[in-house]
Amino acid sequence: MISPLPALAFGFVLGMRHATDADHIAAIGTLVAGGPSARRAAIVGGWWGAGHSLSVLLVGGALVLFKLPMPVRLALTLEFLVALMLIGLGVRSMRLRGAQAVVPTSRPFTIGVMHGLAGSAVLALLVLGATDSALSAFVYLLCFCVGTVGGMASITLLFAVPAVIAPARAVRFERGFRVLAGVTSIAIGLALAHRVGVTDGLFAATPAWTPE
């Protein structure tokens, strides 16, 4: 076991790093591909982080509080849904054109919730291994969420930098970025679906993956 303070610091840093995961970047990239701006990108990242944090705090917090494991097949199913969502976002990103790619705040929030649900089981086990205090575990999760929100807002803000620095090239940048984000999202979604469905055995009689 590690003491509460290092656990909390680790939770914050882990949250920042978690925001840079390939599947998260791919999902956010497809959302900010329609003519990004600094303010819009930060808002999209913030709402994604808020949705992610909500599901992590509710589901992960419940698993930690009651020391209950999430059913393996349910955890894999949630991950598989995230894979399908990434593929769908990628296809949509490549089909949209500039003005059409307006992102309601509910969309990044919902996508964040899905990502948070998919990772709650592993995160809860990590927290249980880091501290034996329910209060410290909850604050750990809270710090993780704050780190994720901050990390994702910062990363999405970077997506807007080329358009802000070179406005004359914004349209060309938007088109190229939208296609790149779409292809990346589809590729990561397919890889994730293969891992969850085949390697981890979602569709097998007995899943190969176990959170223990």
CA-to-CA dists, residue 98 to 29, 85, 92, 191, 211, angstroms: 14, 21, 12, 28, 42
Tell me which DSSP letter residue 20 carries. Answer: T
pLDDT above 90: percentage of residues in the chain: 4
pLDDT at 169: 59
As a whole number of angstroms, the distance between CA 45 and CA 153 comes to 4
Asked if 84 and 189 touch (Cβ cutoff 8 Å), the reply is yes
CA-to-CA dists, residue 9 to 97, 147, 154, 198, angstroms: 42, 10, 19, 36
Q: In the numeric block, which tokens belong to residue 9?
A: 């610091």
pLDDT at 99: 44
**Positions in the chain whose pLDDT score sits under 50:** 1-2, 99-101, 212
Q: Is the pTM of this model over 0.75?
A: no
Asked if 64 and 130 touch (Cβ cutoff 8 Å), the reply is no
As a whole number of angstroms, the distance between CA 12 and CA 144 comes to 5
Q: Mind giving me the DSSP string for 24-45?
A: HHHHHHHHS-SS--HHHHHHHH
